Chain A
Amino acid sequence: MIKLEQIHKSYAVGKGKLHVLKGVDLHIKQGEMVSIMGSSGSGKSTMLNVLGLLDIHDEGKYYLNGELIQKMSEAKAAELRNHTLGFVFQSFNLISFKNALENVALPLYYRGVKRSKRNKIAMEYLDKVGLKDWAHHMPNELSGGQKQRVAIARALITDPKVIFADEPTGALDSKTTDEVMDVLKQINAEGKTIVLVTHEHDIGGMSDRTIMLKDGVIEKIIDNRQN
C-alpha cells in the first residue's frame, strides 16, 4: 500500500537547511496498522505529512497504492487526498460553525456529492462511531472523545485506502482514549490501512508494527504481533 525508498526531506531554516528525513525506507502492507514513534524532532510529523501528501518529499521514491508520487499540482493533490486518504488530527480540527453531521459530510462536498445524499451517508458513518444522536450538535457541545469520533467518521466517509492519525489521543483522557482506539482498531479490522503517529508506548503497542524514528532515520521496527 505504501512504499518508501530513500526518502529525504529538508526544510529551509533561516539561511541554512534542516535535514529532517535522511533516507527512510519503509513498506506498509494493505490492512496493516502501523504506529510511528520517536522523540520530538525525530521527524515523525514530517514523515506523516509526506505520507499524507500534505507536503512533498525532496528525494527518493514514494509509491502510494501503486502510484508513484511526484511533484503535482495542488488540485491533483487535493483530489488524491480526497479519494485515497483520511485524516484524524490531535486537535480534532472540526469546523466550529458546522454541526457534527455537516463536518462528517464535508469531504463528500468536495467530491461533488449532492447534499441530501451526503447527509444520508454521513449519518451512517456517525452511527458507526456511535454518535447518531449527536448529529445535529455543534462541535463545542461535544466532549473530546466525541469530537475525535466525529473526526474519524469524517476521515472514513470517502472510503479511503489509508487513514493517517496524528496523535489521535493526544488531547484525550485515558477513558476516551480507549473509546477512540477501539474505533480505530475496529476500522482496521474491517480492512483499512492505518498509520498513526504517537508518543505514547501503550498506544503504539496496540498497532501491528511500531516504527521507531530517530534523527531522521528508522532506528528499529518492533513487531507487536509476536508478543
Chain B
Amino acid sequence: MRVGVEPFLMLAAVLFSLGLYGALSKKATVQLLMSLELMSIAVNINLVALSRFVTPQTMEGLFFAIFTMVVSAAEIGLGLGLVLAIYRQARTSEVTNLTELKG
C-alpha cells in the first residue's frame, strides 16, 4: 500500500495545532519553548513530505528541513539561556508574570 501525502500533512497539522495551543496557553516558559519546537517540527514534516511527494527530483525541502532543525537547535539554546537569565532576575519563569513591557 502506498501512503499519500495527506497523512503526513494531517500529522503535521495536528502537531502544529498542539504546539500552537501550548504556546498560547502554557504558563511555564519551558513548556512554551517546547510548544514552539512542536510547531517547527510540524513545519519540518510538511517540508520533507511536500519535498518527497511534490518535487522528488530536487531536494530543496530537505535542505530547508536541515536548516530549520539547525536554527531551532540554536533557538532552543538561546531560549533556555534567556529563561535562566529571566529566572535569575525575577525569581520566576512564568510568562504570565513577565509584564515589564505593559503599556
Whether A and B are associated in the same complex: the answer reads no
Chain A interface (Cβ < 8 Å from any Cβ of B) = none
Interface residues of chain B, those whose CB is within 8 Å of chain A, are none
